[in-house]
Structure 1
Amino acid sequence: MPSAFQQSVIDEFRANAGKVGGPFAGTDLLLLTTTGARTGKPHTTPLGHVRDGDRLLVVGSNLGAAHHPDWYHNLLARPAVQVELGDQAFPTIAVPAEGPARDELFARVVAEAPGYGEYQAATDRALPVVILQLPDPRQPAPEITSLAGKLTEVHTWLRGQLAQVHAETEAHFAARSAHRGAGAPPPPGLGLQIRQRCLAFCQALEFHHRGEDGHVFPVMEGYHPHLRHAFDRLREEHRSIAAVQSALAELLADVAIAEPDRFRAELARMTEELTAHLDYEDAEILPLLKDVPWPPVP
């Protein structure tokens, strides 16, 4: 739960399209909602930010304390977050910067907000710099009127995220292979950006399949009992994909992915199974949902 002071800032922010008074008057604020690492409950925190092109930078300063703030631990466990900026709200994936990129971005933040330099001087830990990608204004969300449209949106997002994880992973391996001794080689572990995106993808996929198994499939079976074999196949595929997700989750448990070659192999295995699964679901399930309204009618 936020403190009484934090809650007053949150309430004022939401009531005034992001503008607040008092000690934060004139400050660039956003609201970051994370999911509790242990509780699974949403937690909203007002944070200062610095805009860097099409992304926002927030710093885990914790006022210079010796430990990272709770919201930072939350986003390491559950990278999918919700951002409120002015009167805009959007989901994104929180990615901490690392290495020289972190140092460069922290210098960018301090140049605009020198107080963060004072917080860094007060503690031995490197203050985390977290990147929050802004939505692309050129790609407005499509209007969705049916459950088929919603499922298509989810499948498109899953395919896109999986493709991005693959691209980032292969770029990492290519950089390692291309190293010929000039300068420091890329670290053997995979980067935080890959970890955060893959973890968010796995968690979203688990949520999606749980919703299908618990709600969508039982309802559709009632209307289409002759397709019971198709729903049984999809449930079995969910179990198979979940087993691969568990293996990936084990590798993603630490901030540094210590076994990148195993990660690469597991990612390839899940990609093959998931792609075939989504293709089958598109062919068998989407036609049944085209006349089901979305959002659901009360």
Structure 2
Amino acid sequence: MSWQQKAVIGTDRLLYKLTGGRIGLVSFSGQTGLTLITVGARSGERRENQVQYVADGSSMLVVGSNWGKPHHPAWTANLLAGPDVQVNVRGDVRDVRATLLEGAEREAAWSRMVAAWPAFQDYVERSGGRELRVFRLTPR
């Protein structure tokens, strides 16, 4: 899976770059994707990651699955350290605030995420049972 993951991520980044964030691989799967623009928690440098999202009213839900690896993806630490970030959704750059969801709110959001992409549950099992971080991105 490692070589596939690298190929998918590389191709996805290239598509997003060439199309100004309008098209990525997730588009071809029928899912919705965005480019998350953060500042590195340790480096202080601009970081861009393509992630799948589920619309929730005017907000968006994202999950730090990291393809089922045992550790959280770096972008989730970036959101915890600096929650005021930007997203590029199909070429439209927006300012958002990220909130880590917990308790009942997380469970409701998690159910929506798994309904949209059942593989998220597989990622939990593959990670050894890690609770995947779920964030709400709210316009600011």
TM-score (normalised: structure 1):
0.41
The percentage of aligned residue pairs carrying the same residue is 33
Q: Is the 8 A contact 1:18 1:29 kept in 2?
A: no
2:28 counterpart of 1:25:
yes
Q: Partner residue of 2:3? A: none
Matches within 5 A, 1:216-235: none
2:112 counterpart of 1:108:
yes
Q: What letter is aligned with 1:25?
A: F
Matches within 5 A, 1:64-79: 64-79=68-83
Gaps of 5+ in 1: 136-298
Q: What's the CA shift for 1:124?
A: 2.0
Q: Partner residue of 1:130? A: 135
Q: Partner residue of 1:119? A: 123
Gaps of 5+ in 2: 1-5
* In structure 2, distance between residues paired with 1:68 and 1:99: 18
RMSD: 2.1
Matches within 5 A, 1:246-265: none
Q: Is the 8 A contact 2:12 2:24 kept in 1?
A: yes
Q: Is the 8 A contact 2:97 2:139 kept in 1?
A: no
Q: Is the 8 A contact 1:97 1:129 kept in 2?
A: yes
Change (3 A) 1:52 1:112: same
Q: What letter is aligned with 2:121?
A: G
Matches within 5 A, 1:4-43: 6-16=9-19, 17-21=21-25, 25-26=28-29, 27-43=31-47
Return the structure number with greater strand share.
Answer: 2
Q: Partner residue of 1:215? A: none
* In structure 2, distance between residues paired with 1:9 and 1:116: 19
Q: What's the CA shift for 1:30?
A: 0.4
TM-score (normalised: structure 2):
0.83
Instruction: Give the aligned length.
Output: 132
1:50-92, Cα deviation, whole Å (9 max, x unpaired): 1111111110111112111000011111112110001200121
Task: Name which structure has the greater RCO, CA cutoff 8 Å, separation 6+.
Answer: 2
Matches within 5 A, 1:1-298: 6-16=9-19, 17-21=21-25, 25-26=28-29, 27-122=31-126, 123-134=128-139
Return the structure number with greater helix share.
Answer: 1
Say which one has the larger Rg. Answer: 1
